[in-house]
Amino acid sequence: MSTGVVFDVQRYALHDGPGIRTTVFLKGCPLRCLWCHNPEGQLGDPELVVRPERCLAECRACLSACPEKAIRKKAGRVRVDAGACRSCGACAEVCPTGALELAGRRISAADAVAEAARDAVFFEESGGGVTFSGGEPLAQPEFLEEMLKACRDRGLATAVDTCGYVPYEILERIEPLTDLFLYDLKVMDAAKHLKLTGADNALILDNIKRLVRSGARVVVRIPVVPGVNDDEDNIVRTAAFLKSLDSPPPVRLLLYHRLGCVKSRRLLRGRVGRVFPFQTAADMERVRRRYASLGLEVDKGD
Ligand code: SF4
Ligand code: SF4
């Protein structure tokens, strides 16, 4: 029985594939996108998250719980020494307010699927299912494979939300077990992609080509980040690339938001990423129309 690290399970998700879904978020990602919406999912291991504003002045429960003596109080608020913390989670277990929380828990594939399957009745009625996201779910391939098999055994539809930056052999292995791939594309220019995500996009583009050719059902998701990938050059190049595939997949545009920046401030390892401007509904509509005018089937999320 394989186990893996999951940092969230969100029920009644409406934007991670068709129908009502439960989304299971797996830890670990090979990319470091500067606009990352889930920075607590980047590292593979559980990680302490600190919200000092929730700390109770009169409480000292975590100080005695910490085996590393990594915690002190200053001006009535908790302070954690990042160099001493081992992310064991002992403090989070005793914290009454959620000021200390562990992002990530180790769980068996069977238990994760049993948790996701609680809403199976809604999946049936809405054409939904279970989506595996992250982080990057393919960064834990054995765990993911076992969860997909368990879903299939229970008759649950599945989707895998991937950045595509993995050896193709992994995609090939899970493709027969997956009903839908939500495949993220960010920026077409290779140098810009490297600068913004920490990785070149050649593997990502090659993988989607092969995945579409294999007959897999794919929806491309593009996070529209102002000043990053909403310009004419990137839109035209992305559309040309998608139309060059054996069967151009539909495109769903995702709205950039700043929740990732807020979450990033709570990480013990310090802030990651950058703040980008908000886009308006009119900006998103302009991008959607432009993709549509280039012959793609495209819609936009909320
Ligand atoms: S997670 Fe870190 S701060 Fe909390 S008890 Fe463990 S070592 Fe101490
Ligand atoms: S256990 Fe929670 S509320 Fe109590 S001192 Fe520690 S962080 Fe603050």
Cβ of 92 less than 6 Å from ligand 2: no
d(CA 236, CA 231): 9
d(CA 222, CA 237): 13
Scan for tokens 């990502």, then name that residue: 204
d(CA 137, CA 192): 24
Q: Are 72 and 63 in contact (CB under 8 A)?
A: yes
Q: What pLDDT, on a 0 to 100 scale, did the predictor assign at position 97?
A: 97
Q: What pLDDT, on a 0 to 100 scale, did the predictor assign at position 174?
A: 97
The amino acid at residue 104 is G
d(CA 61, CA 79): 13
Reported in sequence order, the residue ranges of 54-189 that DSSP labels E, i.e. its strands, are 71-74, 77-80, 100-103, 105-108, 129-134, 158-162, 180-184
Domains belonging to the chain, first-starting first, are 3-44+105-300 (3.20.20.70), 47-101 (3.30.70.20)
How crowded is residue 123: how many other Cβ atoms within 10 Å of its Cβ? 21
Q: What pLDDT, on a 0 to 100 scale, did the predictor assign at position 274?
A: 87
Contacts of 132 (CB under 8 A, 6+ apart): 23, 24, 26, 144, 147, 148, 158, 159, 160, 161
- Which residue, among 138, 139, 236, 255, has the nearest Cα to 187 in the 3D structure? 236
- Residue 135 structure tokens: 């982080």
Q: What pLDDT, on a 0 to 100 scale, did the predictor assign at position 302?
A: 57
What SS3 class is residue 78? strand
| Measured torsion, CA atoms of residues 10, 50, 37, 16, in degrees rounded to the nearest 10 | 0
**pLDDT beneath 70, residues of the chain:** 301-302
Q: What pLDDT, on a 0 to 100 scale, did the predictor assign at position 80?
A: 97
Q: What pLDDT, on a 0 to 100 scale, did the predictor assign at position 95?
A: 98
> Closest Cα to atom 4, ligand 1: which residue?
91
Atom of ligand 2 nearest to the CA of 94: 1
| Ligand 1 probe mutation, 49, 86, 94, most atoms within 8 A of CB | 86
Atom of ligand 1 nearest to the CA of 81: 3
Q: Are 209 and 247 in contact (CB under 8 A)?
A: no
Atom of ligand 1 nearest to the CA of 69: 8
Angle CA 159–183–249, to nearest 5: 95
Q: Are 80 and 71 in contact (CB under 8 A)?
A: yes
- Residue 121 structure tokens: 């009745």
Burial of 196 per CB tally in 10 Å (0-12, 13-18, 19+): buried
d(CA 28, CA 152): 24
Whole-number Å distance, alpha carbon 270 to ligand 1 midpoint, is 16
Q: Are 121 and 145 in contact (CB under 8 A)?
A: no
Q: What pLDDT, on a 0 to 100 scale, did the predictor assign at position 301?
A: 66
> Closest Cα to atom 2, ligand 1: which residue?
85
Q: Are 231 and 291 in contact (CB under 8 A)?
A: no
